[in-house]
């Protein structure tokens, strides 16, 4: 028997890429590849790329530079580029980087084994008619009791700054039956926490047995799976927060009190220029309705500062919105002009101004995040143990509100949903002591 070949995948960007990397590893597993943790040790390196901001795209070319040196020492090394840069730049990557053997877009991962077997330099950035996930092998590789499940891909919203509708294409929802099967399979293998993923996850409208199902109905069905304790979903668009999804937050105990609901800006003028199709007041009203059914929900968002035309007054409106909501955490970005998007045509805000705004916004978010974490101290919460901590006898996991929690629990085991009391809050996590296990 020949020794197995080793595969190293580097994942950039969003959770969707994390999920896709796992599925690519499974697909190549069928061709005899086993995972390894470093490029140096690998026979094949795949870079699963992100195109959302310029910095993310540039990382690809700096990594390819390093791989060129590695391939000089190890001529048999195969190098592949997957993900959204592969989709956006396609053959340009093969032209610009001779080190690359394979370019494969996010909709073509099922073809990886044949592309590798064919040898030579290969490219596939097609959008097949069929759900790519059906063409991939069954899921088996597992990394613990919390898993991602992609339910929807692509986006039809065309926010003026965003490349996603171009790189991931228009919205496609996976059929209900396949998702239920995949979720049941995960639970049978010990998964207790599933995060449903999609670029526009609450626009989900997959084919069900009696017509299309929305996200709320899918979640209600998933919640019936025995052993599945927790369900989350991301990323949502405010305009797709339907009534039944909001009510699910009030009446489904398995639906966790955490919602990532990007608003991008608090200025109506900028929201309009971004093509968001909602106002700051619409968003605030929505938050009120969600909090009315689930008062303790932890809210998260994405913000862009320095969008073309953003004035001090616009930026202050964003700070006002943040103060009005009170976020538990948030991601914030300096606007990055992306070729091919409408906003890229407009004159940019000076870089130093955008930097200063980003700094100010992040300071405000940090204050809010700390306050939300501090408020957890003394409370009893549930933690799903995902792995041992760095200290002896310590377990690490996530709370219902998605806080990372370190628990001194020598008897704790991975996959256990433990009841703990929060003792302290530090910058990025909570410390807790166990009360008693509930399974
Ligand atoms: N510049 C900066 N941030 C961006 N995002 C998307 N496109 C851009 C861009 N061109 C941010 C948005 C989105 C998140 C995933 O990335 O906030 O919600
Ligand atoms: Fe991009 Fe999200 Fe807007 Fe879609 S809704 S275009 S993914 S920012």
Q: Which atom of ligand 2 is nearest to the CA of 158?
A: 6
Residue nearest to atom 1 of ligand 2 (CA): 162
In this predicted structure, the answer to whether residue 439 has a pLDDT above a threshold of 70 is no
Q: Ligand 1: which of 332, 333, 341, 348 to mutate, judged by most atoms within 8 Å of the beta carbon?
A: 333
Q: Ligand 2: which of 14, 84, 155, 235 to mutate, judged by most atoms within 8 Å of the beta carbon?
A: 155
Judge if the beta carbon of residue 264 lies within 6 A of ligand 1. Answer: yes
Residues 205-236: pLDDT tens digits? 999 999 999 999 999 999 999 999 999 999 99
Judge if the beta carbon of residue 238 lies within 6 A of ligand 1. Answer: no
What Cα–Cα distance (Å) separates residue 82 from each residue in 51, 108, 124, 234? 11, 9, 10, 22
* Four-point Cα dihedral 271, 275, 281, 284, nearest 10: -90
Mean pLDDT, range 318-337, rounded to an integer: 97
Within 6 A (CB) of ligand 2 lie 155, 157-159, 162, 164-165, 199-200, 237
Q: pLDDT at position 437, please?
A: 46
Q: pLDDT at position 2, please?
A: 66
Residues 174-192: pLDDT tens digits? 999 999 999 999 999 999 9
Residues 132-160: pLDDT tens digits? 777 676 666 567 899 999 999 999 999 99
**Reported confidence tier of residue 326, pLDDT bands at 50, 70, 90:** very high
- The ligand with the least distance to the CA atom of 157 is 2
Judge if the beta carbon of residue 385 lies within 6 A of ligand 1. Answer: no
**Reported confidence tier of residue 249, pLDDT bands at 50, 70, 90:** very high
Q: Which atom of ligand 2 is nearest to the CA of 235?
A: 2
State which fold the 132-374 domain adopts.
Answer: pyruvate-formate lyase- activating enzyme (3.80.30)
Q: Rounded to an integer, what is the distance from CA 341 to the centroid of its chain?
A: 22
Q: pLDDT at position 137, please?
A: 67
CATH 2.40.50.140 domain span(s) along the chain: 380-437
Edge-to-edge strands, sheet with 146-150:
146-150, 193-197, 230-234
Q: pLDDT at position 266, please?
A: 98
- What count of other Cβ atoms lies within 10 Å of the Cβ of residue 142? 12
Residues 41-95: pLDDT tens digits? 999 999 999 999 988 778 899 999 999 999 999 999 999 999 999 999 989 999 9
- The ligand with the least distance to the CA atom of 203 is 2
What Cα–Cα distance (Å) separates residue 180 from each residue in 174, 196, 219, 423? 10, 12, 10, 38
Judge if the beta carbon of residue 361 lies within 6 A of ligand 1. Answer: no
- The ligand with the least distance to the CA atom of 358 is 1
What architecture does CATH give domain 380-437? Beta Barrel (2.40)
- The ligand with the least distance to the CA atom of 239 is 2
Residue nearest to atom 9 of ligand 1 (CA): 336
- The ligand with the least distance to the CA atom of 202 is 2
- The ligand with the least distance to the CA atom of 201 is 2
Mean pLDDT, range 14-35, rounded to an integer: 91
138 Cα: distance to centroid of ligand 1 (angstroms): 32
Mean pLDDT, range 253-270, rounded to an integer: 98
**Reported confidence tier of residue 375, pLDDT bands at 50, 70, 90:** very high
Residues 263-297: pLDDT tens digits? 999 999 999 999 999 999 999 999 999 999 999 99
C-alpha to C-alpha distance for 271 and 86, rounded to whole angstroms: 30
Judge if the beta carbon of residue 307 lies within 6 A of ligand 1. Answer: no
CATH 3.40.50.12160 domain span(s) along the chain: 5-124
Mean pLDDT, range 408-413, rounded to an integer: 95
In this predicted structure, the answer to whether residue 373 has a pLDDT above a threshold of 90 is yes
Residue nearest to atom 14 of ligand 1 (CA): 302
Query: Omega into 235 within 30° of 0, i.e. cis?
Result: yes
Q: Which atom of ligand 2 is nearest to the CA of 276?
A: 3
* Four-point Cα dihedral 143, 148, 149, 154, nearest 10: -130
Instruction: Decide if 231 contacts 254 (C-beta within 8 A).
Output: yes
Least confident of 104-108, 372-376, 419-423: 104-108
Judge if the beta carbon of residue 51 lies within 6 A of ligand 1. Answer: no
- Mark out the alpha helices in 206-277 (DSSP H runs): 215-222, 243-251, 268-273
Q: Ligand 1: which of 53, 159, 166 to mutate, judged by most atoms within 8 Å of the beta carbon?
A: 53
Q: Ligand 2: which of 50, 168, 237, 277 to mutate, judged by most atoms within 8 Å of the beta carbon?
A: 237
CATH ID of 5-124, from 2.170.190.11, 3.40.50.12160, 3.40.50.720, 3.30.450.40: 3.40.50.12160
C-alpha to C-alpha distance for 412 and 403, rounded to whole angstroms: 18
262 Cα: distance to centroid of ligand 2 (angstroms): 9
303 Cα: distance to centroid of ligand 2 (angstroms): 12
* Four-point Cα dihedral 104, 108, 112, 115, nearest 10: -70
Instruction: Decide if 346 contacts 309 (C-beta within 8 A).
Output: yes
């Amino acid at each position: 028997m020949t020794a197995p070949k080793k595969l190293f995948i580097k994942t950039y960007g969003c959770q969707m890429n994390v999920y896709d990397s796992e599925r690519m590893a499974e697909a190549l597993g069928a061709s005899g590849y086993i995972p390894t943790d470093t490029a140096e040790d690998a026979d094949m390196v795949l870079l699963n790329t992100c195109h959302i901001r310029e910095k993310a795209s540039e990382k690809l070319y700096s990594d390819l530079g390093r791989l060129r040196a590695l391939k000089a020492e190890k001529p048999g090394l195969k190098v592949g580029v997957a993900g959204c840069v592969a989709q956006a730049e396609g053959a340009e990557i093969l032209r610009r980087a001779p080190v690359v053997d394979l370019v494969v877009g996010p909709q073509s991962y099922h073809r990886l084994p044949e592309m590798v077997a064919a040898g030579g330099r290969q490219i596939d950035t097609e959008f097949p008619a069929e759900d790519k996930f059906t063409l991939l092998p069954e899921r088996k590789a597992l990394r613990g009791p919390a898993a991602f499940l992609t339910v929807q891909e692509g986006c039809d919203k065309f926010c003026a700054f965003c490349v996603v509708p171009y790189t991931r294409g228009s919205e496609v929802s996976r059929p209900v039956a396949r998702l239920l099967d995949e979720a049941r399979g995960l639970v049978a293998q010990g998964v207790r926490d599933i995060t449903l993923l999609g670029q526009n996850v609450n626009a989900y409208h997959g084919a069900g047995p009696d017509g299309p199902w929305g996200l709320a109905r899918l979640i209600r069905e998933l919640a019936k799976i025995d052993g599945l304790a927790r369900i989350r979903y991301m990323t949502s668009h405010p305009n797709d927060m339907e009534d039944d999804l909001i009510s699910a937050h009030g009446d489904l105990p398995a639906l966790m009190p955490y919602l990532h609901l990007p608003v991008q800006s608090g200025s109506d003028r900028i929201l309009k220029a971004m093509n968001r199709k909602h106002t700051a007041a619409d968003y605030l009203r929505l938050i009120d309705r969600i909090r009315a059914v689930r008062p303790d929900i932890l809210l998260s968002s994405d913000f862009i500062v320095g969008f073309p035309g953003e004035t001090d007054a616009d930026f202050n409106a964003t700070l006002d919105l943040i103060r009005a909501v009170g976020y538990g955490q948030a991601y914030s970005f300096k606007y990055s002009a992306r070729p091919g998007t409408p906003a890229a045509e407009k004159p940019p805000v000076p870089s130093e101004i955008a930097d200063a705004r980003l700094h100010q916004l992040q300071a405000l978010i940090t204050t809010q995040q700390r306050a939300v974490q501090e408020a957890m101290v003394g409370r009893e919460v549930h933690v799903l143990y995902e792995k041992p901590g760095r200290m002896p006898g310590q377990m690490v996991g996530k709370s219902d509100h998605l806080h990372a929690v370190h628990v001194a629990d020598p008897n704790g085991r991975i996959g256990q949903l433990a009841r703990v009391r929060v003792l302290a809050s530090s910058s990025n996590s909570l410390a807790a002591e166990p009360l008693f296990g509930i399974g």
